[in-house]
Structure 1
């Protein structure tokens, strides 16, 4: 083992979390600034543009789900093969990453370009908002190759315990985005005033900058063509639960947008603003998810189920404490959070009540979102996917529709009730972990 490298089998869980999590949190903090900064500047241009960003947001989540989920599959498979001392197989898995990123980007870009006008039409009745949705959505989706490559290469580096270079890449990418946003949106320094188009261009340039930084160390030589099938099967056997979990956000947020649109465009805007802030406050939880996957996968490969349990319980404690801080913010300063983006009095009225109720869901959400990545890491994709489907398909949208029948104020109860039920189901599934012989999560 190289000097300073983390020993997943022996180091204390808290030592690993405190060493691995801060760089990931810093990187995700910077990543969160992409959407927050775009919304901040666009909110000063027009309320219609802010609503358009909220409408496009589910598609951006789907894009991230495909990119990051594929990367998580690579990350988990590499950690497994490293755990059983098969470094060549780990390198083969990494080598599949770059061509895979290209293919999934190309398919996603083509589909989004074609469906964007239809998506805009079913999302709003405002012609102005529709035009903004098409302009912004086509640019951030069609030119998203930087995000796909960066996500894959980042997960390859993280599987080896390298959190610093991905953090550096995302910091630089975000700085590029933040610097370009006012220049291109407002037309500063003699540049054309592009409005929402400028925000989209700034975003994709920042993503490309981040990808270029991790490219050298994240790129592995692709293996022989005959090696692709077994590696892709491993990647998506392990990565599909994460893709489902992330892409489910797309569909349930789209569904919730449709429900809120029956009340007003301002209600849709509030939901979009919540998810902007949620991205920021969920950074600690996202870092824990990223960190525990290779830790658990490595120890599970060595059949150390007791240590796997220990990692999960410590992650629960850390997640609950950190998410509790988010709850306090949503309870005590919701108006300040909303005014950061919008000064519309109706958005403020709806948002303050909504933020109060949603904030109560944060602590149980730390549990409900850690269980799926745990099951993913131990090669139980059915349980991981089942939790995601229960949470997003059977709870979020149906409960949202049900509570909306009683009025907009009751709609927000969807969040805490969904997370409590999902956590309970996760605990029921977890009770059987370790009772049976461990199964191999990857085909060797």
Structure 2
């Protein structure tokens, strides 16, 4: 018997409402929050770039570590979100609440471990990432502040996913918007100084970042902080949380290692080439908002329907999310093909950065359409509990393809290096589609048995 959860006007019914209607209801708040976050990243880079070109390069170098931090925080939250949605799908509210209760202690533990490790490794990381002493010093300063004081992003990510598991997208949206606005306001004040606040340069940008993250965490805390279960139950829930969340952690943390690897490859050409890759990821955060929203929204919907045995709705969710993502991503393609120089000049006046980046952006832009499916397929497999397939696609894309292809294309020349991106997304999409067809046949056989 299908068990339906209670719904209200504020929460869509994952098992009954039309899939497109659910996505269109859930996505806008997530997109708006991610838009503000993306604008924060862009504005942050703008002010740092106005302060110094070396600071802009330092941000590009520290970006992989920030992605690793996000991977641990969001991946843990996704595991909690997916397990909660599964329990809600089978009608077990108590276990869903207990799963939520594990979130806060877990967030505290992973933040502490991450902070300690980053403090000690930061000088070594800076030294292997650049040969320019000033840039290395700025990497250490910025990196230690944003990584050691990152408790805000760990708590905010977990509490946000707890709320999203029940369809509450509005409070997380408000939290991320307010946090980003606080960050944006503080950026110029902290970087250049204002009144009694001294000029702090790149350290000021880092301080503004962690204050914004902490502000967002406080907003979601009031609804996301749940009573933990008995200590004896923690091990069981943590094991299941990371079974479901590990693919997301792997996918996000793989970004860290492949961007770090690509930075090392580009370092052999010039610091400006490294800066171009960093600027690409800044603009990518804006262009990929619809895709990021789809990834966030489809996990609880698919997990709920899969737990309830409604496999047709799982496939429909995948189809509709790909359709929406692809349609909107066309805007990104046009922007990267038609105005790459203008995008680059927003942050840098360095002629070498503009020259390298114009070619790079036009080539990378061709990867945006196949990238939709290469990123959504792993999320789909994660949501139905197929961690192996999800992880396999992530490893294929980030370990087997991106850096090795980058090394190969770099041997031909810097302009050819950027072909790494479209080639990677096309291959990953083909493999993901093959795995999906296999999984679809399994579901059909299950329905007929």
Report the 3-state secondary structure (helix = DSSP H, G, I; strand = E; otherwise coil) of the residue aligned with 1:20.
Answer: helix
Selected match of 2:231 from 225, 232, 239: 225
Counterpart for residue 104 of structure 1: 110
Report the 3-state secondary structure (helix = DSSP H, G, I; strand = E; otherwise coil) of the residue aligned with 2:438.
Answer: coil
Q: Does 1:372 align with 2:378?
A: yes
Selected match of 2:147 from 129, 141, 147: 141
Give, in angstroms, the shift of residue 51 of structure 1.
0.2
Q: Does 1:289 align with 2:288?
A: no
Alpha-carbon distance in 2 for matches of 1:119, 1:35: 22
Alpha-carbon distance in 1 for matches of 2:179, 2:42: 14
Q: What pairs with 1:22-41 in structure 2 (closer than 5 Å)?
A: 22-41=28-47
Q: What pairs with 1:19-168 in structure 2 (closer than 5 Å)?
A: 19-168=25-174
Q: What pairs with 1:45-444 in structure 2 (closer than 5 Å)?
A: 45-436=51-442
Report the 3-state secondary structure (helix = DSSP H, G, I; strand = E; otherwise coil) of the residue aligned with 2:404.
Answer: helix
CA displacement, residues 11-57 of structure 1 (integer Å, 9 cap, x when unaligned): 11110011000000111111223322221101001100000000000
Alpha-carbon distance in 2 for matches of 1:245, 1:77: 18
Report the 3-state secondary structure (helix = DSSP H, G, I; strand = E; otherwise coil) of the residue aligned with 1:10.
Answer: coil
Alpha-carbon distance in 2 for matches of 1:437, 1:123: 47
Report the 3-state secondary structure (helix = DSSP H, G, I; strand = E; otherwise coil) of the residue aligned with 1:11.
Answer: coil
Give, in angstroms, the shift of residue 189 of structure 1.
2.5
Task: Please give the TM-score of this superposition, normalised by the length of structure 1.
Answer: 0.98
8 Å CA contact 2:40–2:181 kept in 1: the answer is no
Give, in angstroms, the shift of residue 436 of structure 1.
3.1
Q: Is there any run of 5+ residues in structure 1 with no aligned partner, and where?
A: 439-444
Report the 3-state secondary structure (helix = DSSP H, G, I; strand = E; otherwise coil) of the residue aligned with 2:390.
Answer: helix
Counterpart for residue 16 of structure 2: 10
Give, in angstroms, the shift of residue 223 of structure 1.
0.7
Alpha-carbon distance in 2 for matches of 1:36, 1:250: 19
Alpha-carbon distance in 1 for matches of 2:441, 2:239: 27
Alpha-carbon distance in 2 for matches of 1:436, 1:257: 41
CA displacement, residues 39-86 of structure 1 (integer Å, 9 cap, x when unaligned): 110100110000000000000000000000000000000000000000
Counterpart for residue 441 of structure 1: none
Alpha-carbon distance in 1 for matches of 2:211, 2:384: 37
Give, in angstroms, the shift of residue 437 of structure 1.
6.2
Alpha-carbon distance in 1 for matches of 2:170, 2:101: 21
Give, in angstroms, the shift of residue 303 of structure 1.
1.3
Give, in angstroms, the shift of residue 202 of structure 1.
0.1
Alpha-carbon distance in 2 for matches of 1:272, 1:143: 22
Alpha-carbon distance in 1 for matches of 2:441, 2:413: 46
Alpha-carbon distance in 2 for matches of 1:437, 1:42: 51
Alpha-carbon distance in 1 for matches of 2:26, 2:40: 23
Counterpart for residue 442 of structure 1: none
8 Å CA contact 2:80–2:245 kept in 1: the answer is yes
Alpha-carbon distance in 1 for matches of 2:329, 2:292: 11
Counterpart for residue 3 of structure 2: none
8 Å CA contact 1:34–1:203 kept in 2: the answer is no
CA displacement, residues 345-375 of structure 1 (integer Å, 9 cap, x when unaligned): 0000000000000000001000100000000
Alpha-carbon distance in 1 for matches of 2:103, 2:415: 45
Alpha-carbon distance in 1 for matches of 2:195, 2:387: 52
Give, in angstroms, the shift of residue 381 of structure 1.
0.1
Length, aligned pairs only: 440
Alpha-carbon distance in 2 for matches of 1:261, 1:271: 11
CA displacement, residues 307-364 of structure 1 (integer Å, 9 cap, x when unaligned): 1111101111111111111000000011111011101000000000000000000010
Alpha-carbon distance in 2 for matches of 1:436, 1:360: 34
8 Å CA contact 1:284–1:322 kept in 2: the answer is yes
Alpha-carbon distance in 1 for matches of 2:299, 2:58: 35
